[in-house]
């Protein structure tokens, strides 16, 4: 994985190449920039989704399961009052 500094230098170089719209290098650089920025956006969205799933998983781990609330011993260990019908 390239460092942030290396990535910034590459993007700067591509931007300078893309400034020349009339050359083949400029067209190729613009295409490369579009692909890189699209992939970067997808990676950011994927990171946000991953963070959300991790957060939900942690919440579920901390939440007692419904069947545990009906087990007298488990309910007492969790400090939950067991209601009997």
Question: Per residue in 65-84, pLDDT tens?
Answer: 666 666 667 667 767 666 66
Question: Per residue in 9-52, pLDDT tens?
Answer: 999 999 999 999 889 999 999 999 999 999 999 999 999 999 99
What pLDDT is stored for residue 76 in this prediction?
A: 72
CA 57/CA 7 separation, integer angstroms: 33
CA 85/CA 26 separation, integer angstroms: 76
First-to-last CA distance in the chain?
60
Is the pTM above the cut of 0.85?
Answer: no
What pLDDT is stored for residue 23 in this prediction?
A: 92
pLDDT mean over 42-65:
85
């Amino acid at each position: 994985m390239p460092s942030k500094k290396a990535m910034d230098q590459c993007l700067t170089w591509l931007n300078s190449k893309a400034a020349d719209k009339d050359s083949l290098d400029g067209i190729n650089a613009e295409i490369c920039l579009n692909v890189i920025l699209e992939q970067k956006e997808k990676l950011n969205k994927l990171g946000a989704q991953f963070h959300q799933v991790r957060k939900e998983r942690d919440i579920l781990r901390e939440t007692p399961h419904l069947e545990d609330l009906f087990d007298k011993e488990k309910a007492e260990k969790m400090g939950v009052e067991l209601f009997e019908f």
